[in-house]
Structure formats: C-alpha cells, structure tokens
Chains A and B, each alone.
Chain A
Amino acid sequence: MSVTVEVSNLVKQFDGGHVRAIDDVSLAIEEGEYLVLLGPSGCGKTTLLRTIAGLEQPTSGDVLIAGSVVNGLPPRVRKVAMVFQSYALYPHKTVLANIVFPLKPEKLPKQEREAKARWAAELLGIDNLLDRKPRQLSGGERQRVALARALVRAPHVFLLDEPLSNLDAKLRASARDELKQFQQRVGTTTVYVTHDQAEAMGLGDRIAVMDHGKLRQLGPPVEVYDDPADTFVATFIGSPPMNLIPRDGTLVGFRPEHLLPVEHVVGERVDASFHVDRIEYLSGDRHVYGTVSGIGKDTRVIARLPATVTDSVTPGESHAFGVSVTRLRFFDAESGLRSEPIQVNAEHG
C-alpha cells in the first residue's frame, strides 16, 4: 500500500531558535513516488526525514501522511519504516529476531510472524543468514537486514537515511541498482536522503535539493540538472559543476560538456576563446581546465570533452570553442535565481 506524504510550511528550530534546521519547507510526495532529498551535510535533509518519521517534532508547520496530520504522533502509529545510515541493527539479536522485532506489537501468532520475516528475508536474498548476529555480517548484508526489517511490517512509507554511505564504492553501485528494483517491486512511497548526487540522479523519481534548511528546487533529475533553479543547484549538481560567467549583472551558465570545439557545436552558438591550462583524463572523457573569454568576463571554467571528440587540445594554447545557445542558462548575479536570457554574441554555425 502506498500513500502520499506531505509537509507544509515546516519549520524546525534547534537551540532555542538559534539554528533553523528546516526553514519553511513545503513539498508533496506522491503515492509510490521515490523522492530523494539531496543536499550538502547540514542542509536539513536528515532533520526533515526525522520529522516525517516522528523522531523530531516540528517547531511549526504540518506533516501529513495519507492526508492526515500526524504532528505529535509517535513513530509507531505513523506506519513508517526507517533505514538508518548505521543500519541500527540490534547487535544482541539474530538476523531473524531483528526482522521479527517490528512485528511484535501486531499481536500475530509467533509462527505467522516468523513466516513473514522469512518472506522478507527471502525477498532480499538473506534467508541463509537468519541465525547470524549482525557483527558476523558484511556491510552489504547488514543493509539488507535493515531493509528486511523495514519491509516486513508492510509500512506505508519508507524513509532511508543515506543507506549506502557505509558501503564501499563498488558495492554501492550494485546496491543502488538493487534498491531501485526493490522499490519498484514493492511500490511503497519512499523518501531517500543522500548527499551523493549520483545516487540522487540514479534513484529519484524526483529530487528535492536543499541548502541551509530551505528547499531550493524540486523536480525530476533531468530538470534539476538541465534547468537548475538557482546557482546553488547549478553548482551543487553536476561533476564538474556548471560553469558560471559574469556578464552585466547576470551569470551566464553552461554545463562543462556543452563547451566544445566550435565544429562540434550544432545550431546557433556563442563563440569563445578557450585558453587551456591543464587536461585530466577521466574514464574516457577529457576534463579541460582553462580560461574562457568572449562570453563575459574572463573566467576559469572546465570543459568536458567526450571520447567521441578527438580534436587535439594543447595546454598553453588558445582554442576556438563554443556553446550552443539552447544550452545557456541565466542567473541573477545578486540573488542567484534564474533570470531572463540576455543577448550574448551569437553566431550561426
């Protein structure tokens, strides 16, 4: 069963109002949606998740689950399940006892409880580990136990707090894939917190980008990447981040992969002279560091040349580069918010 989750005008203050961990956030999560809360550490994303869970009470504003206000209700009646960053398995209990634990308040017969736990364990492929203690498990296995414990109660909402950050890089990629498949299979509304944009882009139906307790942008991964709402989102998402060039009180932005040698730019383009300092080879792409002039103020930028672009680029020399006009984004230099496009010396290629 999947339900909607909504927060409206949510504020959470700590230290008697000195710290605004969540600053007037409103967002609605649809039934069965996979929403990722993304932001740097300290941006309030975990506090938001904990407030939805009922581990924190909001200073003001409402949390709604399935359309009803749940402010003040303890976690157990909200029918949410949470996977912690540390997994928070009960170290003195076996895997089976860990998974059974959330079922106990439901007053089912013992056999039925264990059957449910075994079903959850089987779903996650850990049915051979049921007699082990958490300390005898690897990081990936622990994560599955934590997921099985969350799943077994058939919660209305899954809350995941950086569940992949304790895994090594290789395992993280496969676990990400499994997590997505798993959510699609069970179809439960999921809120996922991460600071890792690759996880956010790969997992989320929509991404909510947060900074300093405020919601900066909410949208599908493509939109957040291609049409960032402000310079924070533009530079936080994307690796390397979006290039921003000041011009007449406006910042002209473009992604590194759109700054290319002129002959590779299709359609109307803006020309620039690119003085190259340094080149890095990263998984087939070339990351070219240098100073661009002709678009606005001379600015250090990064260009990402895909493997298909084989033009020779030499450090210490200037090259004719360009950006397709459709790829330019404009931001107000003061507020950082998106602004009206301005005229940049366009050429037809």
Chain B
Amino acid sequence: MAETLTETPPRQKLDGARQRLSDRDGFLAWIFLVPTVVYIVVLVAIPFFLAIAFAFSDVTSGNPSYDWVGLENFYRVFDDAVFWQALRNTFVFTVISMLLIVVLGKVLAMVLVADFKGKWIVRFLVLLPWTTPVALSSVTWLWLLHSIYSPIDWVLRNVGLIEENSYFLGRPALAMGSIIAVHVWRLVPLAAVIMMVGILSIPDDITEASRIDGAGFWRRMFEVTIPLTFPLIAVAALFGAIFTFTDMAVVYVLTGGGPTNSTHVLASWSFVRGIGGGDIGQGAVIALFLFPLLLAAAILILRAVRKMETI
C-alpha cells in the first residue's frame, strides 16, 4: 500500500492554464481606484491645500509671488463688516431653505408616489428645475423678478394686491426672500426624489398593517412613514443644505450681493474679494469658512446612511 502511494505521479498543472493579470484582485482594485484618486487629488486636495496656503500669503492676481504674512489676511477679513453679514446670510439662507426644502419636498414626494392619470408628465415637470443649469435658471428668475418688467409684479398689480412694483431684488429683505425662494425652487425636486425613494422602499405590508391597526393618514405619516424614511429625509436635508451653503451662482446672478452688499454669502463674497478684487489671500480666508460646516454635513450624511443600513 505504502509503495503504491509513493508512486503517485506529481500533480500536473492544467494544460495552458495560467493566471492572468486581470485575474488578480489586488491589481484590479488599484486600476479601478486610480481615476477616483487622481480626481480627488487634482480637483479637491490640491485646491484645498492651495487655499490654506494662500490664506497665509500676500498673493494677489497682480503679484503672484508667495510671501508669508501670517494671520494678516484673517485680521483684515474680520475687520470687514461685509464678511460678518455674508457669514450670517449664509446661515440664514441655508437654514430657512433647508426647512422649506424638506417640508415641500416631503409633500411633493407624496404627490409623486400617488397613483393618478398622467403622473409621468407631472414627475417630468417636477424634475425640470433640478435639471436646468443653475446659471440659466437664475437668469430666468432675474427676469421674473425684474424691478420694472417683472411678470410677477404685473400679475399682482392686475389682481389688485399691490399698487406699485415690489422691487424684489432692490430691497434687502425681499432680495433675501427671493434668493431663498429660488434655492427652494431648484432644490425641492431633488429632495422630493430622494424622499420618494424612501417612501417607495417601505414594504406595502407595513403600510397595510398600519391601516389594519387603525392608524389614519397622519398617524401613518408620523409614526410609520417618517421614522422609516428618516435617514433619507436627513440625506435630502443635508444635500439641500450643502447646495445652498456652497452656492454662489444664485446670489451672484440675482443680486450680485446687493443692494449694498446686504445679500452676500461666503461663496459670493470670497469670489468678489478674491477674483473680482484680485486679493487671493483674503478670498482664500473667506472660502475656508465653508469647510467646517461641509465637514459636519459630510459626517452627518455618512451617519444617516449607516443608520439606513441597520433598519
């Protein structure tokens, strides 16, 4: 017996079989990651560290040589009342827009999931604001809110609600309201679609069980639908917040920060100072203030996503 065992011929490899490079997981993983890594390094990491570097320098568009100036730029930015106004505006715009986006998005999401004739056309129309480039839709709104030819004013005048034009973009309070309205208008569709996905992901059984258990519309909404879709509501809210917080196009096109710098936000003020005024160092300091909130938002989104996985 022992002899026959030792006579077993050595195992041969399958004819012509060899491992290719594309069979190696480690190699593939690197290949697939490279585009993302390049993208993040070139378009996110380098600009971010450049901004930090410029914040401590006297670089201007006229004199790009790098000289260290310490906290000089910070002092100058903090001494400017417009900066504090812009910081306050950024938060006001973000918080109010976010609340409106979530509430209106929820309502719209419920309209989108409802079954009715021609719902595809409603869904299509609802999504249009989101698919339009921000600059284009902002220009359209600029016309709609024009101080002399505004069709909105025209309607209000003819209905008899106002006697003379509102000058939407010419009065600080109305200008801020207009900016918030445009943000809400363009971001509600996105929030609605995100929340619609949440509503659709609730099994029919659970909704039906709650109907059998005697829960009416409001109890079903607050005790079943909202808790079950909370992570997606949070994602919608945070997306709304991030897009409002970082956006400068709406402010820049509609008011250009006016009247008298009253509607500037961090992004638009940073642009005006850094690019328009050529003071790259100050522009960088202002832009850096976007970072902490974006970091917090990113952490909250990741947490919401993780919570979604555990339900």
| Residues of chain A having any CB pair with chain B under 8 Å | 53-55, 74-76, 80-82, 84-86, 88-92, 101-102, 104-105, 135, 149, 153
Contact = CB atoms under 8 A, between A and B. Distances in A.
A328 B43 CA distance: 84
A21 B211 CA distance: 22
A53 B223 contact: no
Given A84-B205, A91-B311, A104-B219, A75 B211 contact: yes
B217 to A, nearest CB: 11
B203 A88 contact: yes
A74 B211 CA distance: 8
Interface in B190-235: 203, 205-206, 208-216, 219, 223-224, 227-228
A102 B211 contact: no
Max chain B C-beta neighbours (<10 A), residue from A54, A82, A89? A82
Contacts of B211: 55, 74-76
A92 B227 contact: yes
Max chain B C-beta neighbours (<10 A), residue from A86, A101, A104, A135? A101
B223 A55 contact: no
A88 B213 CA distance: 11
Contacts, number: 63
Nearest to B208: A55
Contacts of A74: 211
10 contacts: A54-B212, A75-B212, A76-B211, A80-B212, A84-B205, A88-B209, A91-B228, A101-B215, A104-B214, A104-B215
Contacts of B223: 90, 101
Contact of B205 (A54, A80, A81, A86): A86
A329 B112 CA distance: 57
Given A82-B208, A88-B206, A104-B214, 17 more contacts: A53-B212, A54-B212, A55-B208, A76-B211, A81-B212, A84-B205, A84-B208, A85-B205, A88-B203, A88-B208, A89-B209, A90-B228, A101-B213, A102-B213, A105-B214, A105-B215, A105-B216
Nearest to A75: B212
Given A91-B228, A101-B223, A104-B219, A76 B212 contact: yes
Q: How large is the interface on B (under 10, 10 to 19, 20 to 34, 35 or more residues)?
A: 10 to 19
Contact of A84 (B209, B215, B227, B228): B209
A76 B208 contact: no
A149 B213 contact: yes
B8 to A, nearest CB: 40
Contacts of A149: 213
Interface string B221-252: 00110011000000000000000000000000
Nearest to B311: A91
A68 B227 CA distance: 37
A92 B203 contact: no
Nearest to B207: A88
A76 B206 CA distance: 15
B228 A92 contact: yes
A74 B214 CA distance: 9
Nearest to B204: A88
A92 B213 contact: no
Max chain B C-beta neighbours (<10 A), residue from A75, A81, A153? A75
Nearest to B228: A92
Max chain A C-beta neighbours (<10 A), residue from B211, B214, B223? B214
Nearest to B202: A91
Contacts of B215: 76, 101, 104-105
A149 B213 CA distance: 9
Max chain A C-beta neighbours (<10 A), residue from B205, B208, B213? B213
A92 B310 CA distance: 10
| Closest A-B pairs by Cβ, 4 of them | A76-B214, A88-B205, A102-B213, A88-B209
Given A90-B224, A91-B228, A82 B209 contact: yes
Contacts of A89: 209
Contacts of A153: 213-214
B111 to A, nearest CB: 22
Nearest to A146: B209
A74 B213 CA distance: 11
B307 to A, nearest CB: 10
Contact of A92 (B209, B216, B219, B311): B311
A82 B212 CA distance: 7
Contacts of B205: 84-86, 88
Nearest to B310: A135
B232 to A, nearest CB: 13
Contacts of A54: 212
A91 B231 CA distance: 14
